[in-house]
């Protein structure tokens, strides 16, 4: 199972390394540079608002479906049409809640128009995720890998033309970015549906009351977890925009750092997406999950420490490379928020294991704790430190919730702490911090960042946090 995990991981990471960073830096960041922090801040705040009721699109169906299909693959053709019919009804409820809440909060005409399109985009993106859950649950990881990047690839083509082509005479508008997302999400969803027809068989949309109630009962704990986690990870930008006089600008500044966190977290999310069906099937067959847990955990957490510490120490040259506006403010916020990647990566490992095991009540209690902490910290820190305060609140919240998930997993699976692993991780972190402080003093630019990353990669293999021999063996077996 380790071979299957790492082999699939290599493919999905390769595709995402080629596509998503290019999209983030050449398209998304350039959109913000072109339209300005205030206009992008409005878009970013509305985008995060569209996430707040996102759970109504799914009610936990996607995560439950991945786990269920991995354990019972023969059920996919029987239920796919019924699940899609239910999702259409849920989409109507989601649109009503999102737009109705925005009207109550006083959003105006242009904001409502943009939010409406962003909400439609959420419906289409959720549809793609559902089809991918079938592909992943059936262990069709190659197909899943392609659909994990297809929408971003299409956005690169469309927005690249609008941003860089000399034939486009009008200045780029933030609304164009939203419309381009609608078109590319729609094409990706249609393509995923066609592949499902070909691979799984013909199905019809239908709504079965008894089936829908039973499915919602099974998936509701997953839905509650997603909702709670969405609240404590996405409400920072909304609170910035609503609480401060210069909230739109501060939300745009926060977005500049959050964008890069989103980039690196994509890869951790991909690892979690691979681990969920693998853990679910191993637990079903009563196989030992420790080898996969240890290898994936060391790989992801070690990589997260390298990326987070390096980017935090060299936040200023990174921001100067990418952005034109508010570089100093965004550098301060980014130096805090990127450190959140370490607990987020940790949570992806242990949270996914607990999800695969069905420990939803414990996870929901943890997430509720996260909301209380995040709300409290944001109300205190945002008025004092603005975007930097929101970044600090995110770091503390993610750290505490990741620690809680790790402790729960250790107790549920009766796992012992490998102090050898802990010592290697702490040694790695200490050397990396010392090297970074030295580097930022004598090489305070991108050269220092490259030197620190090079040192970190050598340490990952030298301290045997990542085993080069295992990776090479897997690569040989796949060729």
Out of 61-65, 121-125, 160-164, 241-245, pick the least confident: 61-65
Domain that holds residue 33: 2-416
Maximum CA extent, the chain? 67
Q: Which residues of 147-182 are buried (b: 16+ CB within 10 A; e: fewer)?
A: bbbbbbbbbbebbeebbeeeeeeeebebebbbebbe
* DSSP summary character for residue 415: P
- Please report whether residue 431 resides in a domain: no
Q: What is the pLDDT of residues 84-109, one digit of tens each?
A: 778 888 899 899 999 999 998 888 88
The H-assigned helical ranges of 338-418 are 341-357, 360-385, 387-412
What was the pLDDT predicted at 66?
65
* DSSP summary character for residue 325: S
Q: Is 439 exposed, middle or buried (0-12, 13-18, 19+ CB in 10 A)?
A: buried
> Which is nearest to 123 in space by CA: 188, 65, 64?
188
Q: What is the pLDDT of residues 121-174, one digit of tens each?
A: 999 998 888 888 777 766 677 787 788 888 999 999 999 999 988 888 788 999
3-state SS of 48-86?
HHHHHCHHHHCCCHHHHHHHHHHHCHHHHHHHHHHHHHH
How far apart (Å, rounded) are the C-alpha atoms in residues 356 and 359? Answer: 8
pLDDT band with cut points at 50, 70 and 90 for residue 205: low
Q: What is the pLDDT of residues 378-420, one digit of tens each?
A: 999 999 999 999 999 999 999 999 999 999 999 999 888 888 8
How far apart (Å, rounded) are the C-alpha atoms in residues 458 and 465? Answer: 10
What was the pLDDT predicted at 471?
54
- Please report whether residue 439 resides in a domain: no
- Please report whether residue 440 resides in a domain: no
Look at the chain and report how many structural domains it folds into: 1
């Amino acid at each position: 199972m380790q071979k299957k995990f790492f082999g699939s991981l290599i493919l999905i990471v390769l595709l995402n390394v080629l596509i998503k960073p290019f999209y983030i830096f050449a398209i998304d960041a350039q959109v913000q540079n072109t339209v300005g922090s205030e206009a992008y801040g409005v878009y970013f705040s509305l985008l995060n608002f569209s996430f707040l009721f996102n759970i109504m699109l799914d009610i936990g169906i996607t995560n439950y479906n991945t786990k269920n299909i991995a354990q019972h693959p023969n059920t996919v053709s029987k239920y796919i049409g019924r699940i899609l019919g239910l999702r259409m009804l849920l989409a109507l409820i989601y649109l009503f809640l999102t737009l109705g809440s925005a009207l109550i909060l006083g959003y105006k005409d242009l904001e409502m128009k943009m939010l409406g399109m962003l909400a439609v985009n959420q419906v289409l993106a959720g549809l793609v995720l559902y089809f991918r859950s079938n592909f992943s649950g059936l262990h069709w990881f190659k197909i899943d890998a392609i659909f994990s990047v297809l929408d971003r690839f299409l956005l690169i083509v469309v927005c690249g033309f609008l941003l860089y082509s000399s034939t486009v005479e009008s200045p780029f508008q933030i609304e164009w970015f939203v419309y381009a997302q609608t078109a590319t999400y729609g094409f990706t969803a249609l393509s995923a549906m066609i592949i499902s027809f070909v691979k799984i068989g013909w199905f019809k949309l239908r709504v079965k009351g008894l089936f829908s109630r039973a499915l919602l009962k099974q998936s509701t704990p997953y839905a509650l977890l997603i909702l709670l986690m969405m609240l404590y990870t996405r409400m920072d930008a909304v609170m910035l925009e609503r609480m401060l006089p210069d909230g739109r600008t501060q939300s745009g500044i926060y977005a500049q750092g959050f964008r890069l966190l989103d980039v690196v977290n994509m890869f951790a999310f991909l690892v979690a997406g691979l681990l969920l069906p693998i853990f679910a099937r191993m637990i079903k067959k009563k196989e030992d999950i420790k080898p996969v847990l240890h290898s994936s955990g060391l790989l992801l957490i070690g990589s997260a420490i390298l990326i987070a510490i390096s980017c935090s120490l060299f936040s200023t040259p990174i921001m100067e490379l990418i952005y034109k506006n508010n570089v100093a403010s965004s550098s301060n916020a980014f130096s805090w928020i990127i450190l959140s990647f370490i607990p987020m990566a940790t949570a992806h490992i242990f949270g996914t294991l607990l999800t695969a095991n069905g420990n939803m009540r414990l996870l929901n209690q943890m997430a509720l704790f996260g909301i209380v902490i995040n709300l409290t910290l944001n109300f205190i820190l945002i008025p004092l430190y603005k975007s930097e305060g929101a970044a600090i609140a995110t770091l503390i919240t993610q750290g505490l919730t990741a620690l809680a998930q790790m402790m729960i997993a250790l107790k549920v699976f009766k796992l012992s702490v490998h102090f050898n692993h802990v010592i290697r991780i702490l040694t790695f972190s200490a050397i990396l911090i010392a090297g970074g402080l030295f580097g930022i003093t004598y090489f305070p630019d991108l050269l220092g960042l490259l030197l620190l990353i090079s040192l970190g990669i050598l340490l990952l293999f030298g301290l045997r946090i990542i085993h080069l021999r295992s990776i090479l063996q897997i690569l040989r077996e796949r060729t």
